Amino acid sequence: MKLIDFWAEWCPPCKLMNPIIKEIEKEFKGKVEVEKINVDEKQKEAEKYEIFSIPTYVLEKGGKEVDRITGARSKEEFKEWLKKHL
pTM of the model: 0.96
> Which residue is catalytic, options 14, 21, 37, 59?
14
Q: In whole angstroms, how far apart are CA 59 and each of 10, 30? A: 23, 15
Cβ proximity of 5 and 36 under 8 Å: yes
Query: pLDDT for 4-26, tens place per residue?
Result: 999 999 999 999 999 999 999 99
Domains and CATH numbers, the chain: 2-83 (3.40.30.10)
Would you put residue 18 in left (φ > 0), alpha (ψ -120 to 50) or beta?
A: alpha
**Residue 11 annotated as catalytic:** yes
Query: pLDDT for 22-51, tens place per residue?
Result: 999 999 999 999 999 999 999 999 999 999
> Which residue is catalytic, options 3, 11, 17, 21?
11
DSSP secondary structure letter of residue 1: -
**Residue 64 annotated as catalytic:** no
